[in-house]
Amino acid sequence: MMTDNIKVLITPEGIEEVEMTQEEIDQAEANDLEFQEKLEQEETDKTAKEENKASGRQKLKELGLNDDEIDALIN
């Protein structure tokens, strides 16, 4: 089991729990911030994709396609 600020080394010689260094802890905190930015970008991209999908569906409807025909095209 891994808990805060502990890393576990699993080797052919056995399992060892090691305290993270302050440098490693600082790096983990920096990684948290970086990862949060990645998640926010993913959410932005997802929203844009959903908006484009809705817009595209509406345009296809205006061309006369029904929902079943649109689903067949895009799924």
Partner 1 sequence: MSGSGLSNTRFSLRINVGGTAKTSGHYFATYVLQHSGFSKWDSSASQGYADMGYLHNSSGSTSQAHAEFTIFRPLQADKTTILHDATTWDNGTGFGRYSGATANNSAEAISGITLGAGGFGSGNIEIDQILVYGLKK
Q: Which residues bind partner 1 (CB under 8 A)?
A: 1-4, 10-11, 27-29, 31-32, 34-36, 38-39, 75
Task: Return the number of the residue (64 or 75) whose C-beta is nearest partner 1.
Answer: 75
Q: How far is the CB of 45 from partner 1 (least distance, A)?
A: 11
Report, in Å, the least distance between residue 54 CB and partner 1.
17
- In sequence order, which residues have a C-beta less than 8 Å from that of residue 16 and are 6 or more positions away? 8, 9
Measure CA 37 to chain center: 10
What one-character DSSP code corresponds to residue 70?
A: H
